[in-house]
Chain A
Amino acid sequence: MRKPARILLGHGGGGRLTHELVGDLFLPAFANPVLATLSDSALLPELPPGRPAFTTDAFVVDPPVFPGGDLGYLAVCGTVNDLAMAGARPLWLSLAMILEEGLEMALLETFVAGARRAAAEAGVAIVAGDTKVVPRGKGDRAYAVTSGVGVVPPGRELGDHLIRPGDAVLMSGSLGEHGAAIMAARHSLGGPALASDVAPLAGLVEALLGCGAAVRALHDPTRGGVATTCNEVARRSGLRMVLEESALPVSGGVASVCELLGLDPLYVACEGRLVAWVARDAAGQAVEALRGHPLGEGAARIGSVEEGDPHAAPLALRTAYGTLRPLDVLAGAELPRIC
């Protein structure tokens, strides 16, 4: 019998099918000495000097393959980026997958290839993993859970507590590319203009932190977009943020999708972007450093930090007409509207 074209319940059973899956698919893709031991736990090399950082993420995405990426690529980038936002150099990742019985093997191969590509781009090793299979109808093709360990080099400190009134808010590129590509795919909007921005940002972060600019904090604007991220930071820090509408980079394709579906690019997810809070005087230098990196070509200053004000909205937008309006917290998921 040839190799199965679909995932079977047996692939999660721990027996021969599982070993074949791990040995034929996962091991060769993530090839590294730690994983190759296939021991119950990954025994890691010594941590480089600095503070260890640890994060975990779960990924569900519909459609699981989209313009610009796939579930596997997204999962690895997501965890790499969480570590990078803390100023950590990402080192070792785990990848657990919950697969639905009946998932086409070709689709799983796409996810694994995506994860491998992302790991290679980010310079990380996937050192641990697991696979479970649920009966057909009990899972939406595949879910991925990644965890990651990194190290914040000595002397480096990032955090919202460092943000000060007068600081500048920077965005590393155009808004909403990932979410717009996903929504477009779900509602039959096609065309060359749309692709997710999903990418591993560790290199971009090192370029920014290495330029000498005083960087206070970094966050990646994933679900809920830039507005949600800035709202959270404003609330946590007790400071007010004002974004400038004319300065927000938005591509024509994203603007078009958002117009059609009634979405606001400020609330649409990015998966390959960072928002940086830097000292006012360092803004120009920081933008240049970002632009010097391939993933930061569209970087721009998008706003400023002000003193907190309990009577004013924590996050506001100055429109192209000089008027100010609050940017509220999102009620739930962004849904397409006609009104």
Chain B
Amino acid sequence: MCLAVPMRLIERRDEFLGVVEAEGVQREVSLMLHPEAQIGDYLLIHAGYAIGAVDEEEARITLELLKQVAEAGEPQ
């Protein structure tokens, strides 16, 4: 249970409000649960709130791992 989508913070409107964007779709969201958000961060958005941020280094590591797994194909 929990649909949450990564979206990039493009604007801060207030202490606790920001605007996030993904694929040209934008929404105002509350930053009350993740007030340390910075413009450019990829935030995890659930029910109109940022509940956390995507750690870009971890994401890069995971994607690199997946790339290796895909290239290795079937294990021998």
A/B: CB atoms within 8 Å of each other: yes
Q: Is B62 an interface residue (CB 8 A)?
A: no
Contact B25 A194 (CB under 8 A): yes
| Residue numbers in B under 8 Å from A192 (CB-CB) | 24
In the complex, A252 Cα to B22 Cα: how many Å? 8
Contact B26 A260 (CB under 8 A): no
| Residue numbers in A under 8 Å from B24 (CB-CB) | 191-194, 252-253, 256
| Residue numbers in A under 8 Å from B46 (CB-CB) | 338
In the complex, A259 Cα to B23 Cα: how many Å? 11
| Residue numbers in A under 8 Å from B5 (CB-CB) | 256, 259-260
Q: Is A135 an interface residue (CB 8 A)?
A: no
Chain B window 1-13, contacts with chain A (Cβ cutoff 8 Å), 1 for yes, 0 for no: 1110100000000
Looking at the complex, which one of B1, B21, B23, B27 makes contact with A255 (CB distance below 8 Å)? B23
| Residue numbers in A under 8 Å from B23 (CB-CB) | 193, 251-253, 255-256
| Residue numbers in B under 8 Å from A191 (CB-CB) | 21, 24-26
In the complex, A237 Cα to B23 Cα: how many Å? 38
| Residue numbers in A under 8 Å from B3 (CB-CB) | 259-260, 262, 337-339
In the complex, A252 Cα to B7 Cα: how many Å? 13
Q: Is B41 an interface residue (CB 8 A)?
A: no
What is the minimal beta-carbon distance from A262 to any residue of chain B, in angstroms? 5
| Residue numbers in A under 8 Å from B1 (CB-CB) | 338-339
Contact B25 A184 (CB under 8 A): yes
| Residue numbers in B under 8 Å from A251 (CB-CB) | 23
Chain A window 253-285, contacts with chain B (Cβ cutoff 8 Å), 1 for yes, 0 for no: 101110110100000000000000000000000
In the complex, A189 Cα to B29 Cα: how many Å? 10
What is the minimal beta-carbon distance from A30 to any residue of chain B, in angstroms? 35
Chain B window 31-57, contacts with chain A (Cβ cutoff 8 Å), 1 for yes, 0 for no: 000000000000001110000000000
Contact B25 A189 (CB under 8 A): yes
In the complex, A252 Cα to B25 Cα: how many Å? 9
| Residue numbers in B under 8 Å from A188 (CB-CB) | 27-28
In the complex, A184 Cα to B24 Cα: how many Å? 12
Instruction: Please name the residue on chain B nearest to A190 by beta carbon.
Output: B26
In the complex, A339 Cα to B47 Cα: how many Å? 10
In the complex, A189 Cα to B22 Cα: how many Å? 11
Contact B21 A338 (CB under 8 A): no
In the complex, A189 Cα to B5 Cα: how many Å? 13
Instruction: Please name the residue on chain B nearest to A194 by beta carbon.
Output: B25
What is the minimal beta-carbon distance from B19 to any residue of chain A, in angstroms? 9
Contact A260 B28 (CB under 8 A): no
In the complex, A256 Cα to B7 Cα: how many Å? 9
Contact B28 A257 (CB under 8 A): no
In the complex, A229 Cα to B46 Cα: how many Å? 31
Instruction: Please name the residue on chain A nearest to B3 by beta carbon.
Output: A262
| Residue numbers in A under 8 Å from B25 (CB-CB) | 184, 189-191, 193-194, 253, 256-257, 260
Name the 7 nearest CB pairs between A and B, nearest first: A193-B24, A252-B23, A191-B26, A256-B23, A256-B25, A339-B1, A256-B22
A-B CB contact pairs (8 Å), 16 listed: A188-B27, A189-B27, A190-B26, A191-B21, A191-B26, A192-B24, A252-B24, A253-B24, A253-B25, A255-B23, A256-B25, A259-B3, A260-B3, A260-B5, A337-B3, A338-B3
